[in-house]
């Protein structure tokens, strides 16, 4: 049994070949092929009608970036290549996932995850800030400009006190002690400044609470699992995976 013709094709037949079964001059193709190519559409006098038919949208390209918050090559790629590409393309063309972890290592100590990062403790903190930011914001369009701002500045973690809860719970580590010397060639943007400019609706206190609490460690452990599951394994960062 032949498949049923789409409604749009039946409409074409009704408009262009009244009575059905009457072949149009120069058109030796069945109605369901009239819009299969421009040449056939011309031969069957169906150009204007074929132009109005909606074609199924192609699925977005899925890009996953495995990176480190303080890796120079990662920062250059994210700021100069990925962010600008994202701005230029239609929203439905590209789906981006960011996984800040890279060449870090993790270990479980008394039921709590601890991390050692390639560029030191500040990078672990930067990875955690960006991971918690993504978790709290949920929407890629909300958090990607903030991450772009952080990675564009001299230090991802500078002035972290600006986004810390006003009354930290006892036992909190002084995260500001993890700062490293800052290169003078980059402008200085703090997490609070980036939030105020690009995502003022986000609660910096919630992000800081995530960074300091078990939620942040659990999210970073998830990033570690995603990175370790790469097949083939990553050999360097930035590491980009397309559609898979």
Highest mean pLDDT among 9-13, 17-21, 222-226: 222-226
- What pLDDT, in 10s, does the model give residues 80-111? 999 999 999 988 899 999 999 999 999 999 99
We report the CATH number of the domain holding residue 101 as: 3.40.30.10
For residue range 156-200, list pLDDT tens digits in order: 887 444 444 333 332 333 333 333 334 334 555 567 788 988 999
Specify if 2 maps to a domain: no
Residue 208 located in a structural domain: yes
Tell whether 24 and 121 lie within a shared domain.
Answer: no
Are 78 and 151 in contact by the 8 Å Cβ rule? The answer is: yes
In the chain, % helix, strand, coil (3-state, to 5) comes to 45, 10, 45
Q: Identify whether residues 173 and 224 lie together within a single domain.
A: yes
Same domain? 142 vs 230: yes
16 with 130, same domain: the answer is no
Strands (E) located in 37-163: 61-67, 94-100, 105-109, 112-116
C-alpha 157/C-alpha 121 separation (Å) is 11
Question: Is 98 contained in some domain?
Answer: yes
How far apart CA 235 and CA 244 sit, in angstroms, is 17
- The number of domains in the chain is 2
Gap between the Cα atoms of 128 and 24, Å rounded: 67
Inside any domain, residue 1:
no
Which residue's entry shows tokens 């609490």? 213
pLDDT band at 227 (very low <50, low <70, confident <90, very high): very high
Residues 96 and 164 in one domain: yes
Mean pLDDT of the chain: 80
45 and 157 housed in the same domain: no
56 within domain boundaries: no
In terms of residue numbers, what domain contains 197? Answer: 61-242
What confidence score (pLDDT) does residue 62 get? 98
Residues 65 and 84 in one domain: yes
Binned at pLDDT 50, 70 and 90, residue 53 comes out as confident
Could you tell me the pTM of the whole model?
0.69
């Amino acid at each position: 049994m032949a498949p049923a013709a789409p409604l749009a094709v039946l409409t074409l037949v009704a408009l262009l070949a009244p009575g059905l079964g009457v072949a149009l001059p120069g058109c030796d193709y069945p109605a369901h092929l009239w819009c299969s190519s421009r040449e056939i559409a011309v031969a069957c006098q169906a150009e204007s009608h074929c132009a109005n038919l909606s074609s199924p949208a192609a699925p977005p390209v899925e890009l996953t970036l495995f990176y480190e918050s303080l890796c120079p090559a990662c920062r250059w790629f994210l700021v100069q290549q990925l962010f600008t590409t994202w701005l230029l393309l239609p929203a439905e063309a590209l789906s981006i996932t960011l996984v800040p972890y890279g060449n870090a290592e993790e270990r479980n100590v008394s039921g709590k995850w601890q991390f050692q990062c390639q560029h030191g403790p500040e990078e672990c903190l930067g990875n955690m800030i960006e991971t918690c930011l993504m978790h709290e914001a949920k929407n890629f369009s909300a958090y990607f400009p903030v991450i772009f701002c952080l990675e564009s500045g001299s230090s991802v973690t500078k002035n972290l006190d600006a986004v810390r809860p006003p009354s930290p719970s006892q036992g909190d580590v002084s995260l500001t002690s993890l700062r490293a010397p800052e290169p003078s060639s980059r402008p200085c943007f703090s997490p609070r400044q980036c939030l105020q400019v690009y995502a003022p609706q986000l609660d910096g206190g919630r992000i800081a609470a995530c960074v300091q609490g078990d939620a942040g460690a659990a999210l970073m452990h998830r990033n570690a699992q995603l990175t370790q599951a790469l097949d083939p394994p990553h050999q360097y960062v930035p590491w980009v995976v397309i559609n898979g």
